[in-house]
Amino acid sequence: MIKLLELLRFTGCGLGVFLAYCFGNTPEEILRIMTPWFIGSVAGLSGIEGLFFSEKAAQEKGFEKGSNYQRQNAFWFLSIAVIAILTYISGWNAYANIALVFVFCLFLILSAINHTYTIFSEENRTWQNVIRPVLTALLTIVFWHPVMSILFD
């Protein structure tokens, strides 16, 4: 099930980019479409994974099982996913989307640093630890153009 959720995260993000660039004519529209797809896919599915498949997810990642922090992290993921979807449905402006993207990307950057640290300090070379910094960099690159176009236009 963990591998399926991982595949769904990748698929949701890819679909978000595809839809954003197919149907978005401006940086604001591109960002508006991509934000719920990315945050919903990554955070929403990570939240579900953390709440319902926590032991298996921890095992796959090489982390401790059943900690309160794991549950708390799952709630944070679900919270930002719900707000990203609410922002889309409510049609809030581009700056609401930018705020969500900044918070989400900052969390992922800090998380990538933590994963990288565990690769070297604890020799935890699981797939999730190794790939997290790469995926975080790709996520940041995908959001760079629409966010910078809106902020500096």
Residue 41: name the closest of 146, 142, 113, 149 by CA. Answer: 142
Q: Which one of 22-31, 50-59, 63-72 scores highest in mean pLDDT?
A: 22-31
The per-residue pLDDT of the chain, averaged, comes to 92
Residue pLDDT, tens place only, 42-63: 999 999 999 998 888 777 766 6
Which comes out higher in pLDDT, residue 5 or 124? 5
Range of the domain at 41: 2-151
CA 7 to chain centre: 13
pLDDT above 70 for 87: yes
Per-residue pLDDT, 55: 83
Per-residue pLDDT, 62: 67
Least confident of 1-15, 48-62, 71-85: 48-62
Q: Which two tokens stand for residue 120?
A: 């070297």
Residue pLDDT, tens place only, 97-114: 999 999 999 999 999 999
Spatial contact of 5 and 49, defined as CB atoms under 8 Å apart: yes
How far apart are the C-alpha atoms of 18 and 67, rounded to whole Å? 37
Spatial contact of 74 and 49, defined as CB atoms under 8 Å apart: yes
The tally of CA atoms less than 13 A away on the side-chain side of residue 90 is 11
How far apart are the C-alpha atoms of 123 and 111, rounded to whole Å? 16
Mean pLDDT of 64-90: 91
How far apart are the C-alpha atoms of 17 and 12, rounded to whole Å? 9
Mean pLDDT of 7-16: 96
Residue pLDDT, tens place only, 104-147: 999 999 999 998 999 999 888 888 788 889 999 999 999 999 99
Q: How many domains does the chain have?
A: 1
